[in-house]
Amino acid sequence: MGDRPRYSVVGPVFNEEALIEAFCERVRAVMEGLGEPWELVLVDDGSTDATPAILDRLEADDPEHVVVLHFSRNFGHQLAITAGMDHARGDAVVVIDTDLQDPPEVIPDLIAKWREGYDVVYGVRTEREGETWFKLFTADLFYKLIQMLTEITIPMEAGDFRLLDRQVIEVMRRMRERHRFVRAMVAWVGFRQIGVPYRRRARAAGETKYPFRKMFRLALDAITGFSLVPLKLSLLLGTFAVVAALLRLLFGRREERESTTVSLFLGGIQLWMLGILGEYVGRIYDEARGRPLYIIRERRA
Into how many domains does the chain fold? 2
Please name the residues in contact with 288: beta carbons below 8 A apart, sequence gap of 6 or more.
Answer: none
Output phi, psi for 245, to 5 deg.
Answer: -65, -40
Q: Is residue 199 part of a domain?
A: yes
Q: Is residue 248 part of a domain?
A: yes
Q: Is residue 82 part of a domain?
A: yes
| DSSP percent split of the chain into helix, strand, coil, nearest 5 | 50, 15, 35
User: 258 and 124, same structural domain?
Assistant: no
User: 61 and 183, same structural domain?
Assistant: yes
User: 204 and 115, same structural domain?
Assistant: yes
User: 172 and 49, same structural domain?
Assistant: yes
Give the pLDDT of residue 278.
67
User: 241 and 95, same structural domain?
Assistant: no
- Its pTM stands at 0.70
Q: Is residue 234 part of a domain?
A: yes
Task: Please state, in angstroms and rounded to a whole number, the distance separating the CA atoms of residues 36 and 106.
Answer: 17
User: 106 and 177, same structural domain?
Assistant: yes
User: 83 and 35, same structural domain?
Assistant: yes
Q: Is residue 139 part of a domain?
A: no
Dihedral angle sign, alpha carbons of residues 247, 252, 255, 261 = negative
User: 42 and 178, same structural domain?
Assistant: yes
Domain that holds residue 35: 7-132+152-209
Low-confidence spans in the chain with pLDDT less than 50: none
User: 167 and 234, same structural domain?
Assistant: no
User: 185 and 59, same structural domain?
Assistant: yes
Pairing of strands 296-298, 66-71: antiparallel
Q: Is residue 221 part of a domain?
A: no
Output phi, psi for 79, to 5 deg.
Answer: -75, -30
Check which CATH number belongs to the domain holding 39 and give it: 3.90.550.10
Contact status, residue 294 vs residue 82, Cβ threshold 8 Å: yes
Give the pLDDT of residue 241.
66
Treating both helix axes as pointing N-terminal to C-terminal, what angle do 261-289 and 229-251 enclose, rounded to 10 degrees?
A: 160
User: 169 and 20, same structural domain?
Assistant: yes
Q: Is residue 140 part of a domain?
A: no
User: 281 and 166, same structural domain?
Assistant: no
Contact status, residue 93 vs residue 164, Cβ threshold 8 Å: yes
Distances (CA, A) of 278 to 228, 281, 293: 13, 5, 21
Q: Is residue 294 part of a domain?
A: no
